[in-house]
Structure 1
């Protein structure tokens, strides 16, 4: 699936959004001549010996692109909803790769990568002539092989110390490539490869490799075990153990179908193109309303968390509804037209729409399919299609019944919903891990994510840390659904029990919007003293007694910093919290429109429904920091790992903080760092931490 990403702020040399969207359709869908996608399908068919070709593609256009500006033909069959991550992104020029295609591959040899990306200029250049279309198709086949089948480049890079452009072979320096013409490789007779200025090109009789010379029209194949160059210091050799492209490809499920036989006699049919506009962001907060929510002020925390995300976190223009369910469903707030500014009455009404007290219905009687049906009905009654809507399901950590899971899966697939699952478990006995929820596979299949809130209770109360975690989980769930939510700049916890000033610092920079919010979350109002002081980077001190606001329905005291000064800020807060409670301080801001900073974390198990402990494959955590699509070098990145459940004494396991290291290998693959044994033993599984730099 191709997705035309939002371009964000307009940059020099870019067409307006509607013009770019219209041009994209023209480039992908031409009636009178072959397009890049048609040529790509043909090249893919030839490179895989008649086994693979492009049958169809779904192109997701930005929602702001007017339907009046173009009218692409739709296929007879309805296209699938755009709930999965795009395979290919059409984006503004990359700071390093420009308009050219490139692949982010984080999973390693033989495993699917993250995405392919290129600019509209690549398509414009390709469609100028049949020759350019053929060259572009070869490049796309090479990138698809990296993304889909886990292959890597079979050429070196000038100046690279790991993947050399030239390597010593006897008395000569030979170009680092893979080709089927033995002895026809460019060589350099001088003593040092730095003196080799000859461009590396393939022999005119060469037909491989698409991972070395994808831009040459005569190169149409991948190297196999007979033609592969195992001696060259290529990334393919280094990461795939010296195996050829075909040796790796044949192990992939795409080539394991024994009933298929290759056919090159007939060219593949033209791919069918589906054009879809990104729908309006629609969210249904689906909340379990059973007796378990009455334990340790849990329902009170649910109400506060829902109010926080609706009033303060959801962006303007989003549509949101609130539905509660137990043995049946009930709409607490119907689908709103459009959320307005953060001071609107509409946000207040929707955010405060949950019942004041939970029901007495037992947790075992909770009917999750009833809740999903209620969410669908609310979407339909609001005049919107349920397709591609986000259902943020907040439910306890019970295992769930298998029959209910299948009903939920059927509804999610039928209506093309994206299920964001927020688990709010109650740990009943010490020493037991949090039970797995049967809906986790369904959420992942739908393109959604899963968030778990730690159960932290003391007697009849829950800790305020549980409230903060619940707020963060709901905010992360709507962000996973595509909403632009506030960036968490600073988060700190200060234990109570000692009357003192809690002090700390936070930094603001130009990647953030002009305004920021400094917030103190408390359990009881008297836990926060009268002193809240902020000192700006220039040394100006603000006694916030005249600036602060309070939202008792969220247990939050906050200061809105308008046109906040850039640099490091200092704060002091009088902490009067009880010994078993704490004050939580967070600083948030929206991202700046002019600085596209992206921070992302994921694991190699995110798409897995079942983790086989006998597989012995380590769980890998990937961290990524980018500025306008390019890597940020020398960034300090730290992972915080939390084991779920409770220990033998009923307490929570301590957090583990480990820096994510960049080992400098760069390129399309991500370096990994294996955790020390003393840390992995605490997690009961092997973890790897990785930090991405694309160079």
Structure 2
């Protein structure tokens, strides 16, 4: 019995995959090896694949200009669940797997619901674990809430790849500035808007200006900052990428060091662009000034087949002698 357990343990170790956090590489300004994996519990839907492709394609161009022509998405693999039907265009994965995917498409979490998020364990500048999208986010029209999906992907990619953080704060939406004015937690402060309270009754809503709380010095608890539709500010993607004018990250010149957000807290009041430029991705990387737009990404559809693993037990004396060491 002991002999058999030794054999099984020995063979199991040989079958273990080599764990890797990500297969992404950056070559000649293009990201290769990005893996987007669909959870096996997600029902088969061809539109889901189409929308993933459209999102990444849109994101690639947005990323290109947001990084001042430095990087774009070149090669992306979409990992199809084994629970879906096989198709001739599906290729066998090489080392790609759901556990090591950069982006997962799965059902909502209790904490975030359908909101996209990136799992970040590390400190400032450290890569995240993965980006999470839900099928509902990818399949429904949520443009008024999040903005174009490609912009959302770039926002999350900045979390994942460069270890930067959000410039808003839902727990502290306002703060008192050095000029003793109440400001919305944002970057940059050039983004204009109104501070209002919504009053909704029987399906009808009206707004009124926020009142100042004499105890806190801030606006009342249910006050909300509503950005103006028309903006001239280009920053920042990590605050509100859904604003049409926003196409850049906050720089040292536009960064709001007063805002009580995670970017200031974790990154020691450095701007998102400062942290991005310190990334290994941008060391010795020159902008692609010779082209107007990046080429469209190339997509590979991958689907594993059911694996059958056979354990062959060798009970010969030579094998027993080998395992005794």
Question: The TM-score by the shorter chain falls in which range?
Answer: 0.7 to 0.9
Structure 2 counterpart SS, 1:28: helix
The residue that corresponds to 2:198 in the other structure is none
Provide Cα deviations, 1:280-322, integer angstroms capped at 9, x if missing partner.
24xxxxxxxxxxxxxxxxxxxxxxxxxxxxxxxxxxxxx2233
**Residues 93 and 234 of structure 1: CA distance in aligned 2, closer, same or farther (over 3 Å):** same
The residue that corresponds to 2:187 in the other structure is 178
From 167, 170, 186, give the equivalent of 2:175: 167
* Superposition map of 1:31-430 within 5 A: 35-68=54-87, 72=89, 80-83=94-97, 85-125=100-140, 135-157=148-170, 160=171, 164-169=172-177, 170-179=179-188, 181=190, 184=192, 190-191=212-213, 192-195=218-221, 197-201=223-227, 204-258=231-285, 260-263=286-289, 265-281=291-307, 319-322=308-311, 333=312, 353-355=313-315, 357=317, 359=319
Q: 1:361 & 1:55 partners in 2: Cα distance?
A: 52
* Superposition map of 1:423-572 within 5 A: none
Q: 1:247 & 1:270 partners in 2: Cα distance?
A: 28
The offset of 1:361, in angstroms, is 7.0
Question: Contact 2:167 / 2:262 at 8 angstroms: preserved in 1?
Answer: yes
The residue that corresponds to 2:52 in the other structure is 28
**Residues 79 and 54 of structure 1: CA distance in aligned 2, closer, same or farther (over 3 Å):** farther
The offset of 1:213, in angstroms, is 0.4
**Residues 120 and 219 of structure 1: CA distance in aligned 2, closer, same or farther (over 3 Å):** same
The residue that corresponds to 2:204 in the other structure is none
CA RMSD in angstroms comes to: 3.0
Question: Contact 1:49 / 1:263 at 8 angstroms: preserved in 2?
Answer: no
Provide Cα deviations, 1:371-426, integer angstroms capped at 9, x if missing partner.
xxxxxxxxxxxxxxxxxxxxxxxx99xxxxxxxxxxxxxxxxxxxxxxxxxxxxx8
The offset of 1:36, in angstroms, is 1.4
**Residues 196 and 361 of structure 1: CA distance in aligned 2, closer, same or farther (over 3 Å):** closer
Provide Cα deviations, 1:496-518, integer angstroms capped at 9, x if missing partner.
xxxxxxxxxxxxxxxxxxxxxxx
The offset of 1:264, in angstroms, is 7.8
Q: 2:85 & 2:305 partners in 1: Cα distance?
A: 12
* Superposition map of 1:653-668 within 5 A: none
Q: 1:79 & 1:263 partners in 2: Cα distance?
A: 35
The offset of 1:125, in angstroms, is 2.9
TM-score norm. by structure 1 comes to 0.36
Structure 2 counterpart SS, 1:212: helix
Q: 1:262 & 1:244 partners in 2: Cα distance?
A: 23
Q: How many residues align?
A: 270
The residue that corresponds to 1:6 in the other structure is 40
Question: Contact 1:39 / 1:133 at 8 angstroms: preserved in 2?
Answer: no
**Residues 173 and 180 of structure 1: CA distance in aligned 2, closer, same or farther (over 3 Å):** closer
Question: Contact 1:4 / 1:90 at 8 angstroms: preserved in 2?
Answer: yes
Give the gaps of 5 or more residues in structure 2. Answer: 1-34, 196-209
Q: 2:259 & 2:149 partners in 1: Cα distance?
A: 26
**Residues 360 and 94 of structure 1: CA distance in aligned 2, closer, same or farther (over 3 Å):** closer
The residue that corresponds to 1:584 in the other structure is none
**Residues 263 and 100 of structure 1: CA distance in aligned 2, closer, same or farther (over 3 Å):** farther
Provide Cα deviations, 1:509-530, integer angstroms capped at 9, x if missing partner.
xxxxxxxxxxxxxxxxxxxxxx
Provide Cα deviations, 1:257-295, integer angstroms capped at 9, x if missing partner.
24x2343841111110100013324xxxxxxxxxxxxxx
**Residues 271 and 80 of structure 1: CA distance in aligned 2, closer, same or farther (over 3 Å):** farther
Question: Contact 2:117 / 2:132 at 8 angstroms: preserved in 1?
Answer: yes
Provide Cα deviations, 1:135-168, integer angstroms capped at 9, x if missing partner.
22111111110111000000011xx2xxx11111
The offset of 1:357, in angstroms, is 4.4
* Superposition map of 1:498-647 within 5 A: none
Q: 1:62 & 1:361 partners in 2: Cα distance?
A: 43
TM-score norm. by structure 2 comes to 0.73
Question: Contact 2:193 / 2:225 at 8 angstroms: preserved in 1?
Answer: no
Q: 1:133 & 1:106 partners in 2: Cα distance?
A: 24
Question: Contact 1:46 / 1:264 at 8 angstroms: preserved in 2?
Answer: no
Question: Contact 2:146 / 2:242 at 8 angstroms: preserved in 1?
Answer: no
Which structure: greater strand fraction? 1
Give the gaps of 5 or more residues in structure 1. Answer: 8-15, 30-34, 282-318, 323-332, 334-352, 363-394, 397-425, 427-695
The offset of 1:5, in angstroms, is 1.1
The residue that corresponds to 1:12 in the other structure is none
Provide Cα deviations, 1:168-206, integer angstroms capped at 9, x if missing partner.
124432111111627x46566623322562334266111
Provide Cα deviations, 1:74-101, integer angstroms capped at 9, x if missing partner.
7xxx875315700000001222322231
Q: 2:122 & 2:270 partners in 1: Cα distance?
A: 17
Q: 1:186 & 1:255 partners in 2: Cα distance?
A: 37
Q: Which has the higher contact order (CA 8 A, sep 6+)?
A: 2
The offset of 1:355, in angstroms, is 1.7
Q: 2:316 & 2:94 partners in 1: Cα distance?
A: 40
Question: Contact 2:151 / 2:242 at 8 angstroms: preserved in 1?
Answer: yes
Q: Which has the larger radius of gyration?
A: 1
Q: 1:261 & 1:45 partners in 2: Cα distance?
A: 9
